[in-house]
Amino acid sequence: MSFSCPHFRPNDDWCLRLKTDCVPGRRGCVLAGKTTFAVPAEQRVREREEEKRRQAIARLWGSPGAGS
Ligand code: SF4
């Protein structure tokens, strides 16, 4: 089954409804409580936040591979 969310902005994986990163099933998401995910939304939110922190630190320190 596939799902296309009208709130999803694909160029940066942004949720226009929640004004934060799209993590399907997260609190406030149209899918929350209606779908079962292999990895719980709360865990994916934590992982996304941790990855953003790592990228921010890498940018701060000018680490290679940290993006632009
Ligand atoms: S978090 Fe949910 S409501 Fe927001 S864009 Fe993603 S799937 Fe849609």
Is 67 a residue whose pLDDT tops 70?
Answer: no
pLDDT for residue 63: 63
> What is the atom index within ligand 1 of the atom nearest the CA of 3?
7
Query: Residues 2-32: pLDDT tens digits?
Result: 779 999 999 999 999 999 999 999 999 999 9
Say if CB 5 and CB 13 are below 8 A apart: no
Q: Report the C-alpha gap between 22 and 29 in whole angstroms.
A: 8
Residue nearest to atom 2 of ligand 1 (CA): 29
Q: Report the C-alpha gap between 48 and 5 in whole angstroms.
A: 19
Strand order in the sheet with 14-15: 8-9, 14-15, 20-21
Q: Report the C-alpha gap between 16 and 31 in whole angstroms.
A: 14
Q: How far is the CA of 46 from the centre of ligand 1 (A)?
A: 16
At residue 64 the predicted structure's pLDDT band, cuts being 50, 70 and 90, is: low
Measured between its terminal Cα atoms, the distance across the chain in Å is: 36
What is the pTM assigned to this prediction? 0.82
Q: What is the mean pLDDT of the chain?
A: 90
